Amino acid sequence: MDLERYIRERSSVNGDIVNVDTFLNHKVDAALMGVIGRRIAGIAAPLRPDVLVTAEASGIAPALSAASELRIPMIYAKKYVLPGPREAVSREVASATKGFEYTIEIRRRVLDAGLRALVVDDFLARGRTAVALGEIVEDIGCRMLGAVFVIEKGWVGGRHLLEDRGWPVWSVVNIASVEGGVIQFG
């Protein structure tokens, strides 16, 4: 499957927003997700992760698909706008697209210290969700192996926020620009 062609043909672009809700993060093309899972697993396998870590909700499908390929568990951080249970390690995240802050958290009892954890998410834009996940993973005492994204919005530059912390970054597809409503891959 030509992933870049698929994404170019089916996304709707509006300014800086690349809308993928008809196949990736509202309606999900299960066959596409299988392909994405295998691509992520191919990147992840040499890193020997014990667990994949993502955030609800849009990270769940790609992380589960990859975890199934790798035969390891995945954890999705819970997201709270109103206060949630506090038996967890959490970070505040300011959402660019939603316009408000929320908290993501992982309960200690689902992630043992000492494991090798790899972050997976659908989009890399400013990288704040991934930074929050990486910090939670390290707070719990796990080895943060880096982060793999389905789609990187390369022109936003969020990659550097992660790399500056020593976390390697991979993306399955890198969008270099969306000038004039046309997706250009990097």
Provide the binding-site residues for its own copies, judged by CB under 8 A.
21-22, 26-31, 33-34, 51, 56-57, 60-61, 64-65, 67-68, 70-76, 78-79, 81-82, 98, 100, 106-107, 109-111
Closest CA to 110 of 85, 81, 80, 145: 85
Query: How far is the C-alpha of 1 from the C-alpha of 91, rounded, in Å?
Result: 37
Q: Radius of gyration of the chain from Cα atoms? A: 16
For residue 110, give every residue at least 6 positions away whose Cβ sits within 8 Å of its Cβ, in sequence order, or none: 75
Smaller CB separation from its own copies, 103 or 161 = 103
Smaller CB separation from its own copies, 137 or 161 = 137
Query: How far is the C-alpha of 185 from the C-alpha of 153, rounded, in Å?
Result: 9
Smaller CB separation from its own copies, 28 or 133 = 28
Give min distance, CB of 64 to its own copies, in A: 5
Closest CA to 163 of 122, 131, 138, 136: 131
- Cα four-point dihedral sign 53, 35, 184, 25: negative
Give min distance, CB of 78 to its own copies, in A: 6
Smaller CB separation from its own copies, 82 or 182 = 82
Smaller CB separation from its own copies, 73 or 168 = 73
Smaller CB separation from its own copies, 8 or 107 = 107
CA 88 to chain centre: 20
Instruction: Answer yes or no: are the C-beta atoms of 119 and 133 closer than 8 Å.
Output: yes
Give min distance, CB of 106 to its own copies, in A: 8
Give min distance, CB of 166 to its own copies, in A: 25
